[in-house]
Amino acid sequence: MVSVLSFLFKNFYLLIIAATKFMFTTTTAKVAGLNFYEAFSVTALGGIMGYFFFYYLFDGVIRLYNIISNHYKNPDKPQKPKKNVPYKKRKKYVKWVRHYGYWGLIVFTPCFISIPLGAFLLRRYFPHKRGKDLIVSFAIVIWASIYTFALYFNEMLNIL
């Protein structure tokens, strides 16, 4: 138990990288001198911890935003019709979520978009889906194993 905690404290920066920029964790772990199992465990654990941290952080932020915005709405004042906000990135993410949906967001969160953005999009567009935390954790473990295997055993992949 003590050796596990000392290992995690010694490689805390790798956990932070895995929580934010998941894709670069295995290369950083290899440069830091970790073996295959250590790199895999740091990548998977950091990604899962980052997902839960950012998901529940954005859960609180979205709830606080809704409370504040509802507090300042005047019910007597007629509401203006809502306009679509022409933000390019927002349009891109909304289009992406609508095109790929729930499963696409879960599968591609660790590899193509960052874990904080994926956690925000899952919280924003799919807040009531059951079992999503387990499925996202499983996807993070799968991508961590793919990245770690591809980096540490690239000689085997070149032979095939």
| Segment 89-110, tens digit of pLDDT | 667 777 777 888 888 888 888 8
Instruction: Report d(CA 35, CA 12) in Å as an integer.
Output: 16
More confident residue, 94 or 34: 34
Instruction: With CA atoms as reference, report the closest residue to 26 among 148, 131, 142.
Output: 148
**Unique residue bearing structure tokens 């999503």:** 132
Mean pLDDT of the chain: 82
Q: Which token pair is 1?
A: 């138990």
What does pTM read for this prediction?
Answer: 0.77
Residue for token pair 């001198």? 33
First CA to last CA distance, the chain: 39
Q: What is the pLDDT of residues 39-60, one digit of tens each?
A: 899 999 999 999 999 999 988 8
